[in-house]
Amino acid sequence: MPASSDDVADTDVPPVLLLLHGGGPGVDAESNWASVRPRLSTGFRCLAPDLLGFGAQIAGSDGIEGPRAWALARARQVLDLLDREGLERVRLVGNSAAGGAAALALLAMAPDRVERAVVMGGAGTGPLPPSVPFYDDPTKQSMRTTLGRLVADESAHVELLDKLADVRLRQALRPGAESAFRSMFADVDGPPPIDLAKIATPVLALHGECDRVSPVEVSARLVDSLPDARLNVVAGAGHWIHVDRPDEFCSLVGEFLSS
């Protein structure tokens, strides 16, 4: 039987890819994914929301405290977005301690809504940092230093880092941004963490070989705890794999999410 016009039209609709940004001070979705979103958009319909506590979502995030509570709140935010957009199932990329942790929480909370997921930089499953980045010294130089740690070789990204330092400094100093950010790192007692062993969704964990924020071992432990996951260590990349190795990042993401 020949395909109907509706069947043909359906095959022309690209799959939806949800891009969840990282958790650095002053981050937003637009700046986080600028290096790779145009290429990813050739194969996917990309949605990249500002997550709670960042960008346009600072207001209304009062009262959330600790990494687990933030991950769950962001997972609920993403579910609300999917419902508003009428999306039953999506592919997903979650970056580091904000987007990655939210991705894992979403996979545990609503496993039927995500077909496959990529998480980066340990997805927030490592220990809390010894100090809160940037806000103890909220200057442009401090922001520039904070951003420099995210790439493997700062000299390869001088212009980008200088530009981002200006953008993120302005955003990090918005009313409410500091208190929201500090609460994300609060070491508070609470319910047990997400049971990773019950997440059945296929997951690809990407980790930069030269990551100065989170060691590769964090992603290795994460993959060992997930039933259907594998680790790809990207040679020559720092925490920002998508900035250091954008072509390789897009190829790995595209191949995994399309398989």
Q: Which of 96, 183, 214, 219 is catalytic?
A: 96
Q: Are 18 and 40 in contact (CB under 8 A)?
A: no
Phi, psi of 189 (to 5 degrees): -75, 155
Q: Which of 21, 157, 207, 239 is catalytic?
A: 239
Query: Would residue 224 show up in a list of annotated catalytic residues for this protein?
Result: no
**Buried-state track 214-228, b at ≥16 Cβ within 10 A, e below 16:** bebebbeebbeebee
Q: Which of 28, 35, 142, 211 is catalytic?
A: 211
Query: Would residue 207 show up in a list of annotated catalytic residues for this protein?
Result: no
Distance CA 233, CA 73 (A): 29
**What interhelical angle do 101-109 and 67-85 show, nearest 10?**
60
Pairing relationship of beta strands 229-234 and 90-95 according to DSSP bridges:
unpaired
Q: Are 14 and 90 in contact (CB under 8 A)?
A: no
Query: Would residue 6 show up in a list of annotated catalytic residues for this protein?
Result: no
> Which one, of 24, 14, 77, 74, lies nearest residue 46 by Cα?
14
Q: Are 64 and 183 in contact (CB under 8 A)?
A: yes
What's the Cα-to-Cα distance from 254 to each of 36, 37, 102, 132, rounded to whole Å?
11, 12, 21, 34
Distance CA 22, CA 211 (A): 14
Active site residues: 96, 211, 239
